[in-house]
Chain A
Amino acid sequence: MRRKATRAAGSRRRLWLGLAFASPWLLGFVALVAGPILASGYYSFTDFNLFQSPTNVGFANYQELLHDERFGQALANTLILTVVGVPVSLMLALLLALALNLRVRGMPFYRAVVYLPTIVPIVVTTYVWRWLLNAQYGWINRLLGLVGLPQPSWLEDPAFTKPAVILIGLWTVGGTTVIYLAALKNVPQETYEAAAMDGAGPWQKFRAVTWPALSPVTLFQLIVGVIASLQLFTQPYLLAQNRLNGAAGGPDDSLLTYGMYVFQNAFVFLKMGYASALAWVLFLITMAVSAGLLLTSRRWVHYGN
Chain B
Amino acid sequence: MGIKTTARYATVWAIVLGMAFPFLIMLSTALKGPNEIFAAPPKLLPHEWNFASFGDALNAMPFWRYLGNTLLVSGLCVVGSLISCPLVAYSLSKLHWPGRNVVLVLMLSTMMLPPQVTLVPLYLLWDKLGLVGTYLPLVIPSFLGTPFLIFMLRQFLMGVPDELLDAARLDGASELRVYASVVLPLARPALATVAVFQFVWSWTDFLNPLIYLNDSSQYTLSIGLYNFFSEHGVDWGPLMAASVMFTLPALVIFLLGQRHFVEGIATRGLK
Nearest-CB residue, chain B, relative to A108: B263
Instruction: Decide: B107 and A243 in contact? CB cutoff 8 A.
Output: no
* Contact residues on B (Cβ < 8 Å of other chain), bracket: 35 or more
Whether a CB of chain B sits under 8 angstroms from the CB of A83 is: no
CB distance from A286 to the nearest CB of B (A): 6
**Contact residues of A with B, CB < 8 Å?**
11, 14-15, 17-22, 24-29, 31-33, 35-37, 39-40, 43, 50, 96, 99-100, 102-104, 108, 110-117, 119-125, 127-132, 136-139, 142, 145, 171, 174, 178-179, 181-183, 185-186, 227, 230-231, 233-234, 238, 241, 243, 258-259, 262-263, 266-267, 272, 275-276, 278-280, 282-283, 286-287, 290
The stretch of B53-61, B86-94, B160-168, B186-194 in contact with A is B86-94
| Docked complex Cα distance between A234 and B15 (Å) | 26
| Docked complex Cα distance between A227 and B110 (Å) | 12
**Contact residues of B with A, CB < 8 Å?**
8-9, 11-12, 15-16, 19-23, 25-26, 29, 37-42, 83-84, 87-88, 90-92, 95-100, 103, 106-107, 110, 112-125, 127, 141, 143-145, 147, 150, 175, 179, 200, 203-204, 206-207, 211, 221-222, 225-226, 229-231, 233-234, 236, 239-240, 243, 246-247, 250-251, 254-255, 258, 261-263, 265-270
Instruction: Decide: B114 and A286 in contact? CB cutoff 8 A.
Output: yes
Counting from the closest, the 5 A-B pairs by CB-CB distance are A28-B144, A18-B97, A21-B91, A36-B121, A39-B121
Given contacts A15-B98, A241-B229, A275-B120, 14 further A-B contacts (CB under 8 A): A24-B144, A28-B144, A37-B117, A37-B121, A108-B258, A121-B246, A123-B226, A131-B25, A131-B240, A132-B25, A139-B21, A179-B270, A183-B269, A282-B116
| Docked complex Cα distance between A50 and B98 (Å) | 43
| Docked complex Cα distance between A224 and B19 (Å) | 23
What's the dominant secondary structure at chain A's contact region?
A: helix
Tell me which residues across on chain A come within 8 A of B116, comparing CB atoms: 231, 258-259, 262-263, 278-279, 282
With A104-B9, A127-B229: A96-B265 Cβ-Cβ less than 8 Å = no
Tell me which residues across on chain A come within 8 A of B247, comparing CB atoms: 120-121, 124
